[in-house]
Amino acid sequence: MPRESNAPRFTRRELLRGLAAAGVGTIVGTVDHGYMYQRHHIALTRETIRVSGLSDDLSGLRVGFLSDLHRSEMVSHEMAETAVRALMSERPDLIVLGGDYVTWGGGRSRRFVGAAAEVLAPLAAPPGVFAILGNHDDDRDMPAARAARGVAVLRDARTRLTIRGETLDLAGIRFWTRRAEDIASVIRGASSNLILLAHTP
């Protein structure tokens, strides 16, 4: 009979908050007012995030973050293009995508999987473009469509980049990954320069 663990148990949200409090650069894609009310609102926000322990050489790193595109009958190619142009105008050092590229992963929205990948194709940054999945994305067609456009989809995975001569680890967890120990295993062994991507609607 397996021995019962006395290790503290955390929810996914508690773990992400704890990592952020500990100084891990955490980027979480969120929807404040919901798809029905915000689907026509495109906003460019500039934020300065202070990360304790970050290498001095990475200070001022410009990370472009785009999330919740929700490409569908109600979110046109032109609207999505506007968001892409706005992001590229900022000339980010690194681009990460936060998920929810379509309204729903299956059914009628499946035809927008390719369209979402196409409209995001102009995004480019020196070390590449990296993505995670949201709760509206499926776990098969969307990663394949993103990968076909040269975008690395991080599904409970971590990749190591070299930026400005410094190591930067970029980790992404699937929306469906809930156990704290599974999330912890993704970042175990990472460098002190770490960005964790998670989609939490």
Residues 12-51: tens digit of each pLDDT? 555 555 555 444 444 443 333 344 445 566 778 888 888 8
- Segments making up each domain of the chain, as ranges: 12-32+59-199
The pTM of the whole model exceeds 0.75: yes
pLDDT in tens, 65-83: 999 888 888 888 899 999 9
pLDDT class of 108 with cuts at 50, 70, 90: low
Q: Is the pLDDT of residue 182 over 70?
A: yes
Specify the pLDDT at position 72: 87
Q: Cβ of 201: how many Cβ atoms within 10 Å?
A: 15
**How many other C-beta atoms are found inside a 10 Å radius of the C-beta of residue 63?**
17
Q: Return the CATH number of 12-32+59-199, one of 3.40.190.10, 3.60.21.10, 3.30.110.70, 3.40.50.720.
A: 3.60.21.10
For the record, the structure tokens of 97 come out as 């995508």
CB contact at 8 A, 170 and 125:
no
